[in-house]
Structure 1
Amino acid sequence: MQQTLLNKSFSEKNHEEALSQNDGLMAKIHNSNDPGYCGSEPFRMSSYALILITKGKLNIRINFVDHVINQRDILLVLPHSIYEITDNSSVSFISIHFNKSYLKNKGVFFSSGETYRMAKDIQSHKFSLSKEDYTFIYYDMLALHKKLNVSKDTPHIKNIVHNSFLELLYDIFLLKNKQKDSVPIAHNSRSELTNRFLALVSENFKKEKRVIYYANCLRITPRHLSQVVKQVTDRTAGEIIDEMVIREAKLLLTSHVMNISEVAIALHFSNSSFFGKYFKKQTGITPSEYKLSNNIAV
C-alpha cells in the first residue's frame, strides 16, 4: 500500500487517468490569473509533455536541480523524471501531454539513448525561440488544443488531431535542428546496444545493480558494455546504474512515506547500513542528512 501511494500520487494518478480517457494526448492552457492553476507539489509523470512559456518565467526543479524557464522557452518534460515547480506566481504557459502508448500506436519513437541523453543535459530538451518561431509554435499548440476540444463524434477527428500533433512535433524538431544545439545519436550497433541496456536497467535497477548482470543479458563482456555505453551517453554502465538508483533513493527519502530501512528494502539492499554507505559514497551525505534537508512530499 505504501509503495502504491509513493509511486503514484493523487495528482499523478488523475493525470494518467485523464490521458487514458483522451487516447494518450492532452493540451492545457495555464494562466497565472487563474487561482490554483498550477500545483507546487513535486510530481513524477509517466508521460511526456511539451511546455511553452507564454508569459513570465517558470522556476522548476528537475531531478533535484533548479532551472529557470523563460518566456518563449520550450521545455520537453521526460517521463519518470522528478519535477517540482518552485515558483508559479508569474508564469503562464501552454502544455501538450502525450504518453508512450500514443507515440507507439502512431509510429513515433524516442529511443532510450535519446531519452537518457536529454535527461542528462537540460539544454538538450530546453531551448529558446525567436519571436517569429515562438509565434509559429504557439499557434501550432493553440490549433492542437482547439482540435482536442472538438467532439469525439466528429468524423475523422482522431486523424485530424494526430496530424496536428505531428505537425507541432516536427516543427519543433526542425527548429531545434536549425539551432544546431544537439548532436543526433547515430542509429548504429552501438546506439542499439545502449538502448537495449538502458531499457534493461530502467526495468531492473532496483533488484540488479551489477554491470555483469546486464552484460550477461546482452551476451557481451562488462568491459565492452561500459565502453560502448560511454561512447553513446558519456557515462559508463556502472555510472548509469548508480544514477538511476540514487535518483530513486532521493525520491523515496523525500516522500515521507518510507523510513530509511524501508527505502533500503524497496531498493533491494541487504540492509540499511549497506544502503547508507552506498548512498554516502554516491552523494557525499548520509540518507538521514538528505532526508532532513529535503522535506518535500510526493
Structure 2
Amino acid sequence: MGRSDSHGKQPVAGLVILFIKESKQVSTVHTQFGRLHALLFLVKKGRIQIVIEQVARMLYPGRLLLLPQGRNWFLQQSLSPIEMGIVGLDSKQIHVDTSRALPMSLFKYWERQPRTLDLKTKELHWLLKLFVILKAKIHPTTPSPVHGIVLRYGLHMLLWELDRLIQKEKPVTSIMHTAGHFLVLQFMELLARHYSSQHQVGFYAKRLRVTPDHLSRVIKKNTGRTAKDHIQQLLTQEAKVLLNGPRSIKEIAYLLGFNTAYAFSKFFKRNASVSPTSYRKQHRKSPNDPR
C-alpha cells in the first residue's frame, strides 16, 4: 500500500513502486506486492524471465507486461545486469482515492490474461520517467501537501498513457497530450520545492522556459485550474496545517514566504474566507482532544 503523506493523509492507497538495479534484489521482489495488486513490469536494461502460474515469459528492454491481480509469479535470477521498474496498483482502492475520471477500459485489460506490449524507445523512457516521479512522491524527502497532488496527477497520466498504448490511439494526438501533461508535472515538481518562497507564476514559467501565459493555459487546460490557483491553493493548505501547530502567525508568515504577518493574514482570509486567528480557534485541537 502507498505510504501516508506528511500530515497523516494517504495520497493514493494501493500503489507500490519498486526499481530493481541489482541482480540480488530479484529473488525477493515478489514479496513486496500483495495479491490485490495489478502489476506493470518494464525493463530498462538486460533480460529476465518471469514465471507466471508455472509459465515462463522473457522480459527485455521495451517490453511492458501487464499482470492481473491474484496471479502467482516470481522473477528468475538474472545472470546479466538488470534494471527494471515494477508498479503495483490496487484498482479498487485507486478508484476510491482519485477524483478525476479514469479510463475504466484500462482496468478491464488487467482482468484478462497477462499481456505484453513492445514499446518504442521514447515510450519506454516516458513511462520510466513517470515511474520515477511517482515513487519520489510516495517517499518524499521534504514533506509537503503538494506531493499528494503530484502523485495523483502522475498516476492519472500513467493510466491514460497505458490506455493510449493499449488502444493504439492516433500518435500525433497522444504526443501533444503527454507533452502538455509533462509540463504540468514539471510545474508541480517545481512547486513542491519552491512554493514557500516563490509565489509568482513568472518564476515557474522562467524555470520551465515558457511564457507565463503559456504555462497558465496549459495548466488550466489539463487540470481545470490556473497555475496561480495551484500556488494559492497549496499555500492555503500548508497554512492550515501550520495553524494547527504551535507556531505563531508571524512565524508561519515567514515560513511561507510572506514579508509581514499582515500580508499573510490578508492572503489567508482572501483564500480561506476566514482570518488565521479565527481559523486557529475553530480548528486547533485542544489538549484533551483524544484524536
**TM-score relative to the length of structure 1:** 0.46
Which one has a bigger Cα radius of gyration? 2
**TM-score relative to the length of structure 2:** 0.47
